Chain A
Amino acid sequence: MSRGGFLPIAAVVAALACIPFVTNSNVVLNFLVTALLLTLAGQGWNVLGGYGGQYSFGHAAFFGTGAYATAILQVRYGFNAWPAFAIGIAAGAAVGAIIGVLTFRSGLRGSYFALVTLAFAEVLRIVASVAPITGAGVGTLIKLDLTARAMQFQSRAAFFWMILALVAISLVITRLIEQSRFGAWLVAVRENEDAARALGVDATRVKLGAMTISAAMAAAAGCFYAQYFLFLDAAIAYGPWISVEALLAPIIGGVGTVFGPLLGALMVKTLGEAAKSITGDVPGLDLVVYGLVLILVVGFAPRGVAGVIARCRAWLLPPAKIAREAAHG
């Protein structure tokens, strides 16, 4: 969409930051928190998949690692929540770097890359579901302690501003990548890896860098999840749901754009809520809708909602201008 500087980011973030002053409905704030959580994970996927063209089907590996690291450090090792949060992000980034080194060194691309990321997430899920340190089948519960020191807030608004701040950082990082030489290399690798290599781009290192940043963002989402819901088990932290939603948000919103994941996450969560309100507690229909939307977007709107908006504007603007001129004349 807009290839501008940081002004649009500041405007969008400022507008969102005002919402708690307009409403203090927990339903609205909870919806926005989960949508922003998904935005963050989706922005992670977007950096690697959208700009770098490496489709990961296993971002749960990073999300879950961040979430578990934050929770386990607090519950079992008595860490304060703030450093635990930072270590969680670092741990997720490290897992990303390790998986990146292994896969990109072996030259895995396309389907193979998707497969191997999926397999890593599954291995972690199975390990987490039996390992004693994660609480195995019982799960891990972070003790309730509603103080800012423990990064737990009485009001939803505080949580909302916190995830908004994280999303703002991810938007700025993505814009910086987009404008940097590194970003240009990344896009070159996406468009044609062999040609990029021939021109002297160190494709393996570029992809590795993107994967590390991508994993850090997904891990930050996981850390926040742990703090917000205070409970984790293997199916939540490493479950396929997050891998699917993390790729759904940018693809629906507009893959390889700064605001794509935000737009997509809002759409995905709105659709999910709509499906749930129709079916009540029966699970499944929301994901059916996600899957259908994924197929439709890939088939009919490859640039996502951002692309559709751009196209609509191109259609609508000239006649509108004509109408305005006619009114003035």
Chain B
Amino acid sequence: MHLSILFPAIINGLLMGAVYALIALGLTLVYGVLHIINFAHGAMLTAALFAAFFLHKLLGIDPYLAIFVLVPAFFALGYGVQRFVIGPAARGNDGNILLVTLGLAVVIENALLFAFRADTRTIDVSYGFAVVPFAGMFLSVPRLVGFAGAVVVALLLWLLLTYTDTGKAIRAVAKEKLGAQLSGINVAHIYAVTFGLGTACVAIAACLLIPTYYVNPHVGNAFVLIAFTTVVLGGMGSIPGALIGGLFVGVVESLCGLYLGESLGQIGIFLMFILVLLFRPSGLMGERA
């Protein structure tokens, strides 16, 4: 294989991988604190993509500006869902949380299917196909923006967790729930804030994706298993793990697509996912599961 094909494939994989990382970031944050896998994560992404789509279509809001609308909206949505649906319905039982998030995923996905049918939609923005030359190839501008956005969000999230009181409370609850509660931290509130942050990550990812991607009621499924793979690969709950895992998964998908063809490119991801789960379930960078 010539380097002239391989190198662009790797770069493209990294650009896509950054968005995977962003989606995985939300998932890993929730896992790290609540110790559950949010099966509704993909459906939330679908909902966010629809929201970004209609904000552009009906109100003419640019997807990148829609971030400032959707982030608060989806933070509130995530907060409410955890505080008023998942928390009360699950009553602290992990198996119940699994089932409730699965139920939420089914509800959201099919409500969207019911409302908007199975049609696939795309938006037209002037910069959708803009490219910049780089080292002898052309890079898509929206994808570069996506990459930069993912890195910025990861950095902001890290700053939030490290330096703010809320961030410290989140880390405290993740480490020692009972201890945190005894020192006066409202655990139910922190759970909901964490869930809201995870959902907000998905909203940003949707806004960064929509200029070059499409939306239909099932689009989240394609991302959710990739996000699971990323999270498991990087170690459940590890933020740098999610970033590196996302970039790695992007490159693997791009290379598998190059060598095996588009439809089998996904199989590469799933096989990697199963292998990692079987042989190193704590991930490449995670703590013991």
Chain A residues near B (Cβ < 8 Å): 53, 55, 57, 102-103, 106-108, 110-112, 114-116, 118-120, 122-123, 126-127, 129-130, 240, 244, 247, 251, 279, 282-288, 290-292, 294-296, 298-300, 302
Contact = CB atoms under 8 A, between A and B. Distances in A.
B30 to A, nearest CB: 11
Contacts of A290: 106
B270 A108 contact: no
B267 interface: yes
B95 A53 contact: yes
B273 A119 contact: yes
11 contacts: A112-B281, A119-B273, A119-B277, A279-B114, A283-B110, A284-B112, A284-B113, A284-B217, A288-B106, A291-B105, A294-B103
A287 B104 CA distance: 11
Contact of A282 (B85, B95, B104, B114): B114
Interface of B: 36-37, 39, 85, 88-91, 94-96, 98-100, 102-107, 109-115, 117-118, 217, 221, 225, 228, 232, 263-264, 266-267, 270-271, 273-274, 277-279, 281, 289
B228 A115 contact: yes
Contact of A298 (B103, B114, B217): B103
A108 B281 contact: yes
- Identify which of A57, A111, A127 gathers the most chain B CB atoms within 10 Å of its CB: A111
B263 A130 contact: yes
Mostly, the A contact residues are helix
Contacts of B102: 57, 244, 247, 294
Contact of B98 (A55, A282, A283, A299): A55
Contacts of B106: 244, 287-288, 290-291, 294
Contacts of A107: 281
Mostly, the B contact residues are helix
Nearest to B224: A118
Given A119-B225, A120-B274, A292 B103 contact: yes
Q: What 9 pairs between A and B have smallest CB-CB spacing? A: A299-B89, A284-B114, A291-B106, A291-B107, A294-B103, A284-B113, A287-B110, A295-B103, A284-B110
Given A118-B225, A290-B106, 4 more contacts: A111-B94, A122-B270, A285-B110, A296-B89
Nearest to A290: B106
Nearest to B93: A302
B273 A292 contact: no
A169 B267 CA distance: 37
A119 B271 CA distance: 9
Contact of A130 (B264, B270, B278): B264
Nearest to A287: B110
Contacts of A296: 89
Contact of B99 (A118, A251, A279): A251
B278 A288 contact: no
